[in-house]
Amino acid sequence: MGKNKNVSSKESKKCERNCESQIDKKEKAIKIAMRAIDDVKLGKNEKINAIWLEISGCFGQVISLLDAEDPDVIYLLRKFVNMTFFGSISGDEGEVAYENILETLNTDYIFIVSGAVPLKDNGLYTTIATYKGQKITAMEAVQTIAKNAKHIISVGTCSCFGGPTAASPNLSDAVSVSQFLGRDDVIKIPGCPANPVWIMGTLGYIASYGAPQLDTEGRPTAYYGDLIHDNCPRRRFFDAGIFAKKFGEKECMFKLGCRGPRTYAYCPVSRWNGTDNWPIGDNTNCIGCAGSEFPDGTSPFVDYGGL
């Protein structure tokens, strides 16, 4: 453990500067979304039509979005996005709801997908509607809606990379949206769940400027440009070689299996619920949920082998 090792004042000042940069990054991300909303109010941009399709997943992305703050989801829907279909919060049901999708296809719209696409048995493992007596599978819906969408956004690791839905043994033969469509222009916002700041910020950027700058895996660099490790408040302990031996200790959790050094995401910057609510802040290690290898490639999530 190294009880005689202390974090130097120089390292502490480095951490303070890092924390200040985290605040700047978070404010910048929120400002992007708010600027887009203001542009709509001023008539610079029109409210964008959007379809949010929830397919095979845990619906954690929707819960995360509903917990958004400043701007919250109500403000987003009223002032910014014309969400013509969003299964979890739409008032319409049945064929009327599906007809809203069909009508939107004749407009300029953004297609947002959460969840992976099951392929087994011709997609019957996930159906999103019954229309005129026919079951509409997730496969059919994704293919139909994606065809003329101005932008396609995958939200959550299942939609982006397959995630837990496609984890071994993958009984439904689920795949990511980009793999199913065979396209490399899908904008990916991974996370289990994705942070609402990342979702709204990306939508805001698209509304104001078009497609954001993406990394090699299709993720916006504004929210996935740094390793979690680089912005972690416990990084100073890692640099000093001081590691926690059990959960609940304040030192770096790298030797407990933390995946922060290999996972790109702004979890330490944006966090959740306007608090310190994120894995490290809650005294548990990063499990790499925003990465393309999650969960099979990051298991086991806790590893005492490094001690």
Contact in structure between 66 and 73 (CB atoms under 8 Å): yes
Contact in structure between 121 and 135 (CB atoms under 8 Å): no
Handedness of CA 223, 33, 64, 80 (dihedral sign): negative
Using DSSP's 3-state secondary structure scheme, residue 15 falls into helix
Residue 267 annotated as lining a ligand binding site: yes
Contact in structure between 40 and 49 (CB atoms under 8 Å): no
Sole residue written with tokens 């969408």: 149
Residue 252 annotated as lining a ligand binding site: yes
Distance (Å, whole) CA 268 – CA 18: 11
Sole residue written with tokens 């995401």: 265
Residue 158 annotated as lining a ligand binding site: yes
Contact in structure between 47 and 9 (CB atoms under 8 Å): no
Residue 19 annotated as lining a ligand binding site: no
Residues found in the chain: 307
Strand-pairing partners, residue 81, are 48
Residue 160 annotated as lining a ligand binding site: no
Q: List, as own/partner pairs, every contact residues 285-289 make where C-beta atoms lie below 8 angstroms and the sequence separation is at least 24, other chains included.
A: 285/247, 285/253, 285/256, 285/257, 285/258, 285/259, 285/260, 286/228, 286/258, 286/259, 286/260, 287/259, 288/259, 288/262, 288/263, 289/157, 289/190, 289/191, 289/192, 289/263
Q: Could you tell me which residues are annotated as the binding site?
A: 58, 158, 192, 229, 232, 252, 258, 267, 286, 289
Q: Could you tell me which residues are annotated as the binding site for [4Fe-4S] cluster?
A: 58, 158, 192, 229, 232, 252, 258
Q: Could you tell me which residues are annotated as the binding site for [3Fe-4S] cluster?
A: 267, 286, 289
